[in-house]
Amino acid sequence: MQYIGYMELTYSHHSIYSLNYHLVIVVARRKKVLTPTILTRCLEISSDIARMFKSEVAEASGEEDHIHILLSAPPDFNACRFVNSLKTVTSRRVRSEFPEIRQHLWKDKFWSPSYFIVTTGEAPMETIKQYIENQGA
């Protein structure tokens, strides 16, 4: 990685890029089920999924009913497939590892079917990292 001004560049065989996404996913019906332990586990799983997509979680945080993820990804990144994988795997693992959560979910649904994702444009990564870090405060 190399920096040009505030922009962090990644080099691959055929490209140089700086592609960053801010993703927010919400628990179904905004149920407040993300205890600190469950939230931490969701964020750990998110990092694992990102690596499978050759991406990196630069920052992640959340509250009782949603999570924020700042993701650095390569040019061939498929956001829709990533989000679907992320939701499927986190939902399955969390319900398996924390079976007591089922009684608080709406019809056994963990995540809302919708999500928010935006490219970060030319905003400095540190500014976005700080924003996401402060979401859990």
pTM surpassing 0.85? yes
pLDDT in tens, 86-129: 999 999 999 999 999 999 988 889 999 999 999 987 777 888 88
CATH of span 21-135: 3.30.70.1290
Domain locations in the chain? Answer: 21-135
State the pairing for strand pair 56-63/66-72.
antiparallel
Q: Residues with Cβ < 8 Å from 76, sequence gap 6 or more?
A: none
